[in-house]
Amino acid sequence: MTFTLPTLPFEKTALEPYISANTIDFHYGKHHQAYVTNLNNLIAGTDMQGKSLEEIILASSKDPAKMGVFNNAAQVWNHTFYWHCLKQNGGGEPSAKLLELIKASFGDFEKFKAEFKQACITQFGSGWAWLILEEGHLKILKTSNADLPLAHGKKALLTCDVWEHAYYLDYQNKRPDYVDTFLNHLVNWEFVESQL
Ligand code: MN3
């Protein structure tokens, strides 16, 4: 049994003009595919074969000898989650239930956006910014490289990929512009709420 590249939950042109089909071709078609291919090659014939993606992530996250497995398995999970966090005509405010939780946790929606953006733009080098649920409250965190909330026993609700490959073709070095666009035009709040 091997892992396959999950189907993209939208057409590759659906996020234009904010994220181009060219970016999707590379990010999904090349980078995400490469993590799937690498993972399959790394687990072939090992005790990891036959385990679920989540099981592989948890079994490899604390083992330095399995860093390659962890990095690729986590990146498969992260990218699949990221695609579901995006949609055509997304962004803006979430529905009442989630908005109340955001207000209770951050004060108001604008403060949430500012804090999430700050996490995105201050992640040094490659990584991810996350909205997570912890003991009934929402929190923002950032992780380096392939690291993810699951490896720390935390529940992810939303992520923004801040690896340069996520935005460089469309935004070059302007990561803050990519993050603004992500928040204002792309976040799939229905998906985020479905993860509560
Ligand atoms: Mn990526």
For residue 123, the CA-to-ligand 1 centroid distance in Å is 14
Which segments within 57-174 are labelled E, that is strand?
127-134, 137-144, 155-161
Residue 120 has a pLDDT of 98
The answer to whether residue 73 scores a pLDDT higher than 90 is yes
Whether the full predicted model's pTM is greater than 0.85, yes or no, is yes
Q: What pLDDT band is residue 15 in, cutting at 50, 70 and 90?
A: very high
For residue 178, the CA-to-ligand 1 centroid distance in Å is 13
154-195: pLDDT as tens digits:
999 999 999 999 999 999 999 999 999 999 999 999 999 999
Tokens of 142: 């950032």
For residue 107, the CA-to-ligand 1 centroid distance in Å is 30
Domain boundaries, the chain: 21-84, 96-194
How far apart CA 106 and CA 112 sit, in angstroms, is: 6
**Superfamily of segment(s) 96-194:** Iron/manganese superoxide dismutase, C-terminal domain (3.55.40.20)
Tokens of 173: 């070095």
> Is the peptide bond prior to 17 cis by the omega test (within 30 degrees of 0)?
yes
For residue 100, the CA-to-ligand 1 centroid distance in Å is 30
89-123: pLDDT as tens digits:
999 999 999 999 999 999 999 999 999 999 999 99
For residue 23, the CA-to-ligand 1 centroid distance in Å is 10
For residue 27, the CA-to-ligand 1 centroid distance in Å is 6
* Section 58-86 average pLDDT: 97
How far apart CA 143 and CA 110 sit, in angstroms, is: 22
Buried b (16+ CB within 10 A) or exposed e, 156-165: bbbbbbbbee
* Section 18-30 average pLDDT: 98
For residue 104, the CA-to-ligand 1 centroid distance in Å is 31
For residue 32, the CA-to-ligand 1 centroid distance in Å is 7
Residue 49 and residue 117 in contact, taking contact as beta carbons nearer than 8 Å: no
% of the chain with per-residue pLDDT over 90: 99
79-89: pLDDT as tens digits:
999 999 999 99
Residue 1 has a pLDDT of 67
- Look at domain 21-84 and name its CATH class: mainly alpha
For residue 159, the CA-to-ligand 1 centroid distance in Å is 11
